[in-house]
Amino acid sequence: MARRFEIVWHLFVASGKMFIRDRSAVFFSLLIPLLIMLIFGVLNFGAAAELDVGVVDEADTASSQTMGDILADTPGLVVTAGSAEDELAALAEGDRALVVVFPPGWELAPPTAPGYLPLTAYTSDAQAAAGQTALLIANAVVAQALVAGGGGSPAPLVVVEEVAGRNLGYIDFLVPGILGMTIMQLGLFSVAFGFVQLKRTGTLRRLFATPTSPGYFLTAQVSSRLIIAIVQVLILLGIGLWFGVQLVGSLAIVLGLSLLGSAVFLAMGFGVAGWARTENQAAPVANLLSLPMMFLSGTFFPREVMPEFLQTITRFLPLTYLNDALRAVINDGAGWDVIGTDVLGLVVWAIITFVIATRLFRWE
């Protein structure tokens, strides 16, 4: 028994070294997901876009200066003060969503006041939607300032009450998808490329001339990749937490799902490695399997934005089950009972891919 464990241990260490030295496997399974997460995290694609608003103060009164300061402090607006000529030119070029002009003699007053002067707002077709949004915000800001100054309605028409809730950003949606994609890439590319190379160079044939057995070899290969998958998930999840991801659920369930997903995609990788004779044959098949799932399984954007028929088809992809389960645990704190359907889907896929891999795999 001790002798068997020693053989498996040495093969396990050798498998880990082989993976680390395989630049293509490391690149596709770890560096690409890491770069994607860093790019999305730094650029914060999920943040609300700010609207550029130009302000032309031709009134030069206390009211116009105060109103300009209020607009500048309004969240979501980036205010630039300038002349009418410059700001309207910027609007025509698409550099402004809206230009607000305070006419000479303007004072903050209700429309019914004697000598009332309205603000003039300019929009452009260059940013039509953004201009309408900025116009609504500007109108609301002016109305609020009017009410605060006693010139508007003595009581609001609608009473707003704030309800506490969790503020989930795009990074909260992205990280579980990146974890699922990483698990898929590790299972497919590390096995497909690594084993095909061992077959092509005759390493497997020479290995089995030693006292070892295929069972020991596969045990070492699978266990090493499962541990690598856990390490990768922990690294990426740690980076996600640094970017502000809210881990609500259990880390143990996340790691359990990672192991189950790894089993599915490792079996898929063994199937590709068993069929392909060279790396040139393995590469297109691995990409053919991974790319559709990467973009259709809710990794980068919700599947709800896709056509309904495509949602139905992609619901049954293995990466969809994994992404949905990871997202439910990380974002919503779901337990095994809640994600039972996704877990069952992964188990079914594990059985299917294992049967296919055993039929296709060849040692030479």
pLDDT at residue 163 in the model: 40
pLDDT at residue 203 in the model: 67
pLDDT category of residue 287 using cuts at 50, 70 and 90: confident
Cα-Cα-Cα-Cα dihedral sign, residues 331, 334, 338, 342: positive
Q: Which residue has better confidence, 230 or 360?
A: 230
CA angle 45, 124, 87 (to 5 degrees): 90
pLDDT category of residue 152 using cuts at 50, 70 and 90: very low
Region 299-315 average pLDDT: 85
Q: Which residue has better confidence, 180 or 286?
A: 180
pLDDT at residue 59 in the model: 84
**Rounded (to 5) percent helix, strand, coil in the chain:** 65, 5, 30
Neighbours of 198 (CB within 10 A): 19
Looking at domain 51-148, its CATH architecture is 3-Layer(aba) Sandwich (3.40)
Least confident of 81-90, 153-162, 245-254: 153-162
Q: pLDDT tens digits, residue range 218-265?
A: 777 778 788 888 988 898 888 888 888 888 889 999 999 999 999 999
pLDDT at residue 344 in the model: 95
pLDDT category of residue 40 using cuts at 50, 70 and 90: low
Q: Which residue has better confidence, 142 or 179?
A: 179
Region 77-105 average pLDDT: 86
Q: Tell me the three-class secondary structure of 178-230, residue by residue.
A: HHHHHHHHHHHHHHHHHHHHHHHCCHHHHHCCCCCCHHHHHHHHHHHHHHHHH
Region 319-324 average pLDDT: 94
Region 162-185 average pLDDT: 76
pLDDT at residue 23 in the model: 64
Buried b (16+ CB within 10 A) or exposed e, 145-175: bbeeeeebeeeeeeeeeeeeeeeebebbbbb
Q: Looking at the chain, which residues constitute the CATH 3.40.1710.10 domain(s)?
A: 51-148
Rg of the chain taking only CA atoms, in angstroms: 30
Reduced to 3 states (helix: H, G, I; strand: E, B; else coil), residue 138 is helix
pLDDT at residue 102 in the model: 86
Choose among 45, 5, 106: nearest CA to 301. Answer: 45
CA dihedral 211, 212, 213, 214 (to 10 degrees): -140
Q: Is the pLDDT of residue 358 over 60?
A: yes
Reduced to 3 states (helix: H, G, I; strand: E, B; else coil), residue 344 is helix
Residue 257 CA, chain-centre distance (Å), reads 18
pLDDT at residue 216 in the model: 65
Q: Which two tokens stand for residue 171?
A: 């990074």
pLDDT at residue 154 in the model: 41
Q: pLDDT tens digits, residue range 7-28?
A: 556 566 666 666 666 666 666 6
Region 135-153 average pLDDT: 69
In percent, how much of the chain has pLDDT > 70?
A: 74
